[in-house]
A and B are shown apart, each in its own frame.
Chain A
Amino acid sequence: MKRLITKLLLLVIIATLPVSVVRAQKQTAPETLIRNATVLTVTRGTLQNTDVLLRDGKIAAVGKNLKASPDTRIIDGTGKYVMPGIIDCHSHSMLDTINEGTLAVTSMVHTADVLNTTDVDLYRELAGGVTTLNLLHGSANPIGGLNTVVKIKYGRPASEFLFPGAMPGIKFALGENVKRSSTPNQPGITRRYPNTRMGVEEVIRDAFTRARDYKRAWDEYRAAAKKDKNLIPPRRDLQLEPLVEVLEGKRYVHAHCYVTSEILMLINLADEFGFKVKTFQHTLEGYKVAKEIAAHGAGASIFADSWAYKIEAYDAIPYNAAIMTRAGVVVSMNSDSDERARRLNIEAAKAMHWGDLTEEQALKLITINPAIQLGIQDRVGSIEVGKDADVAIWNGHPFSVYSRVDTTFIDGDVYFDRVQDLARRPELAKERAALEQAEPNRPRPQGQSPQTPRRRPSGHADDDIEVERP
């Protein structure tokens, strides 16, 4: 009986995974030639009537009338657009849990430990032309957990999702979520420190003060250990090690923030301790302090136009991307939502509507700019020979609301294909009907419901699990 249930559950899982697309592709077409498309290279302009050759997981050639070998899969790109796979610099897809919120500093926890490769929203994101995600810890604490950069290799093992060579990073958070503003005061329960933006500064200062001492202890030990082999090393501290890496420039800080004061606070604190904030996340009031962000050398990863969902979002304006871009800040548009991630193309186009960025500037917001923010700009983010073959074919200009994705490639393999998706539907419908009739899926006696898998809610506004969109 138990085995039957397991088998059926397995069937359900398999039914929701279009893995056969991937595997079939891997065996039959080592090479793909997209012919005669409009190619949005991002870094080298827009090329009309151009071919793109994908070979051995890389972009092998971009040009006119490229030659194909006999077993090359050829796609007619006439009337279609090829753009780099979209990079979402703020995602929580495939994370079984987001917040370790019990402490104010949780730099010892890692999102890489909670990857759920069967999260179907990954497939829905592929269908929106997205290929790379920055999986961030939530915003429940001033210093959160470590992030994971993945390629959406849906249907493959978790180890294959990890983006090789991506810079390690860590989530920081400031403002309302950290203050636990939406958590009601419970009688008899002490609120977690901090409760104000002053306390947030103090928590981060305290952590880096300890990290600096810890680093000194290790530096001194290593220097002395060269002469004296019998020295006892300092006690390892898993909380402080990532912060030492931040101080050494080996780990990027991605800091969730909203208002002017907290953005300036973190810039000042980082300058004082001698590290850089790689990205300010959300940064809704970034436009008010664009020159300070630019001077620090930080990037900003933002929503296109979300506003007023809470007090600290009330001064958000959709001109944010344009103002910061013109001030010299490297800006990206992110989703922070499994839903919104499916249409980041339009989120980028909004910077042309509000603020009149050029098409190229707007394209960068979801391609090369987030690549820079994650330290993967040599691998992805533009269509250039030698870069990873992470591209999507669109049936119209990706900035048109009327366009959709035909095919998404990662490392040259097809991970989404609309024609194949449509072809599979009758078979999946049949399978579903059969499963619904299966014994474990029928209502229980005594009126109990059939069991359904537990899912993390995905409609949150800004990655605090308590915070849901109204």
Chain B
Amino acid sequence: MKSIVLILACTASVLAQQIGNPTAQLGVMPARGTFAIRNARIVTVSGPDIENGTVVIRDGKIEAVGANVYVPSGAQSIDGRGLSVYPGMIDAGTSMGLVEVPQGANGTVDTSEVGDLNPNAKAIVAVNPYSAHIAVTRVEGITNTLTAPNGGLISGQAALINLLGTSPKEMAVVPQLALVINYPRITGGGGGGGFGGFQQQPANLSETLAANERQVEQIRKVLRDAEAYGRAQDAYAKDKSLPRPEHNVVLEPLVPYVRGEQPVIFRAEREAEIRGALKFAEEMKLKPIILGGNDAWKVASLLKEKNVPVILTGILSLPVREDDAYDTLYENAAKLQEVGVRYCISTGDPGPEVRNLAQYAGMAAAFGLSKADALKAVTLYPAQIMNVADRLGSIEVGKMANLVVTDGDLLEIRSHIRYLFIDGRPVVLTSRHTELNDAFKNRK
């Protein structure tokens, strides 16, 4: 019996590799084509599940979804009996591709620029398509990440990428999706973002608050300058008789953000930081998103009132305060859901841990979130928050074919991924880890 199961499993994996003749060869993108995943349970996320349905993929897009859909002749067919089809998961809080090994290999770290104000640092410029983290992550069903720099006060611009491609350009879904700001922390005094360790107790609170306000002022000033810069450029475009404003690579990229055309992500964990970021964003008329949000549950009604979404990264962190309930952060998502705050769930990890995104969502579901919402929190919700729900986050006609086929519940660790499509391209389920496993598992 066991050997039959083994044979079946092997056959399945061989089949998986034959679909569309994808290749694991470095530097070669698997070809798009026409595929039909038949007789599977389709978890559309945006609508009801389809128990025995078919998804047709053509030229990168989802062409048809339903119980009875036309399958074009020549489509490569995947038998989906006993399998489930999900939209790929999305982690909106990573530095995927910007860092390979954070310690002992500084040369592989491209997350943090020198200085405090670096709006011109664009993640998409430095994403390494051949980072081992990318394949390791996607074979677990995560098809997209928001990849963000994390240094200084204004860290730079984050990119939404497909976890497939031979160049940053091929990977980019939205190359410059959001500006990332580390909202100054009250403790510690630095703009070091959410990755700080042991915070020294400040010697003097009023001094710390003053230092904090100086940092906020630094950000305020550069954003005001960008507004003025944008106005000057517009005025000159209309009237060439005006003095020609000099170009400025720091201010230029800020213009769409200060005009509220694109979102600004604020890293903020504690209540004071979140409130500060909300106030600041309102003052500057920005379009804010909170990243981190360990104390978001304490600010839920305000977040709801201001309609500001949260990318929750701390589900599996230890509670912030010693006397917090043991499940404070496990239930953070459920509490936001209850109040009606928009949120999504992220690992908040630079790279290696991103593959465990499902576990973060699962823990939130163990503590109050419904299973359906937990799934949305790693698919549709991040897509909505990043304003790409027209392309990603659910299985709907016309969306990008980023699909995961599993032998069980996508969020359950015991399930396995059987097929993977990114941008309509069939992806071989191999990674540095499967390769090392294959190399050593039979060593005698």
Chain A contact residues, CB within 8 Å of chain B: 12, 15-16, 120-121, 123-124, 127, 176, 181-182, 287-288, 290-291, 305-315, 317-319, 322-323, 326, 338-339, 342-343, 346, 349-350, 352-355, 399-404, 421, 425, 428, 432, 443-444, 446-449, 451-453, 455-459, 467-468, 470
Contacts and interface: CB of A to CB of B under 8 A. Distances in A.
A455 B433 CA distance: 37
B433 A318 contact: yes
B259 interface: no
Contact of A455 (B132, B195, B322, B325): B322
A400 B358 CA distance: 12
A311 B104 contact: yes
Interface string B400-444: 000000000001111110000000000000001100110011011
A425 B328 CA distance: 12
B372 interface: no
Contacts of A288: 440, 443
Interface stretch (B196-204, B244-252, B335-343): B196-204
Interface in B183-207: 195, 197-198, 201-207
Going nearest first, the 7 A-B pairs with the smallest beta carbon separation are A401-B362, A447-B206, A310-B103, A457-B198, A470-B102, A319-B437, A311-B104
A17 B356 CA distance: 32
Contacts of B272: none
Nearest to B2: A358
Contacts of A468: 197
Interface of B: 99-105, 132-133, 195, 197-198, 201-207, 209, 316-319, 322-323, 325-327, 350-353, 355-356, 358-359, 361-363, 365-367, 371, 411-416, 432-433, 436-437, 440-441, 443-444
Contacts of B412: 400-402
Contacts of A309: 101-103, 352
Contacts of B103: 182, 309-311, 467, 470
A349 B412 CA distance: 10
A343 B362 CA distance: 12
B323 A432 contact: yes
A189 B340 CA distance: 57
A15 B318 contact: no
Nearest to B369: A402
A456 B322 CA distance: 12
B323 A15 contact: yes
A246 to B, nearest CB: 29
Nearest to A460: B197
A180 to B, nearest CB: 12
B359 A346 contact: yes
Contacts of A448: 203-205
A287 B437 CA distance: 8
Given A346-B359, A457-B197, A467-B103, A16 B413 contact: no
A467 B358 CA distance: 27
B359 A401 contact: yes
A45 B63 CA distance: 48
A323 B415 CA distance: 19
Contacts of B198: 455-457
Contacts of B203: 448
A149 B318 CA distance: 23
Contacts of A455: 198, 322
A449 B205 contact: yes
